[in-house]
Structure 1
């Protein structure tokens, strides 16, 4: 059995379905992220695992033990929330020690463990400070140290970095990955930030309307989205419609850009002649120079944006939908809105969504 197993978990609030029968298996030591827009069910699932939401039906098991109806304190899980929930009247060391005191650890053992956790999160010099005397990143480290202090097998994290600025958030992402690697604790993490999920996770479960649309590694999800929602939600993507045709070389797809010799969907399933097909191509795959086995698209530039490491252009192709392309910084700075441009899209970069 999986380390954490969720089977048929459902929860409704009146006529609103928060969880529509979730099945999820998490292996020991994994970093699994629940990703989705607000109201998609990801936080409800996390709260159900923690025992703060009672499911209408379904089973949650942890290390082969059914914990579905257990109270939160009997599940012995680590929890880190968006608001940190540190005790303002306690010092950093006292906050970390609190879970150990309520578990009646001996004083010498508590002191040793607090010292160990302070070293783990790099806050030994701040042990005597109160939370109000710390930065947001330091408070987050205290919350992590407190959640890990008693040695939980599973740590639940509910958007813990959303209140931090971009630079600090990226630093804490690296810190979380380090803590996960060094402690070996299983992480289940909730976020609506796609970049955060991609950069940190072993696997991602994308939620939509109380259900999991797709689950896989970040590379699998980015490179082979299974549904239109995943293709649109996980990073910037260009989607457009075509129709499958039969030809002497097999299947091809007729699009605004011409006939593309693509015979299979991204999941490997063959395409059916005469059927509609939804194609996608990522902005970073576009090239200004001609490349082998590519389709050339002529378009009018609608917008040019400098984004630091790259330039992003919004194009309006002849007879096609809006197209977003991206080039390394400096390559496109000479272009202005209203000008005409030809970009080249490698055929190998195109994906085709599996039929519904």
Structure 2
């Protein structure tokens, strides 16, 4: 195999595919990236057995062939080569070594045979549809922070993607929760998503898709194919196939409060900055901030046994009965950072019940936050 390729093209593609490769592997072949010549140049492929990512890259293939080389090592070498340089990849006759050369730089890397590289066969993917990059990115960004990291509740370790009827319309919904907070976002269901199974996309897959989408134009079309066990995203020249979480997502509708009658409307930016200021003195163990509400006024208070007390007053729109309720400051900041409008609306019931938070600038998202004792 002999390939000549622009360093910038190779680096960009390696930056996409090498991220799925775990740095520590008990199976040596999983540390490698598959390099194969194609008609249009070269194809790179990497996998961790749960996610498989491939990308076709423009290159000059002087001699056909395929091999696998250490992914992170190849990425680091190419990253350190000079801008604008050409890179030559060539294997020896036995296919046991690859020479990476550019200018006066030469590296010899140990190879493992292509035949050993695993292939995640997607099988039949029953549903396919397209979304604009901006729509898919918004579904991810509005919900990703609420994904649980608790491995024992593995069915919460991802974003639940499904269709739901909203009045006479059909929406594609993304939901994530860790038991303390819940985030829900939706877009108009694209053609082809009707009747799709409800699926749980794993946290790592969500993160990799988000990074790829950040390199896209907002109106770029993303193709999504899925079944009840796998999902495939085609983002430009990158194709990512991932296993789904095999579990049942809880009935999240039951925890979204319907009868919270105490409405608090406030300026999102001012509230977020005030929470951030008063929580400066809170300890890591107890990050509770108390919200004391009375007519037209909100008092934020944080008490720390080690550091002292902090308070701040805010003018708000609130006409219901006085109430005191506590929340985790970090969770409040996570939610307010996702809100796009200038104002946000909190619907409260009592100090022990979940609170519903809506975005003044986006009616398609909502958040639920469990209170803390303060």
Asked whether the two chains share a fold, i.e. TM above 0.5, the reply is: no
Q: TM-score w.r.t. structure 2 length?
A: 0.21
Higher strand share: 2
Greater RCO structure (CA 8 Å; 6+ sep): 1
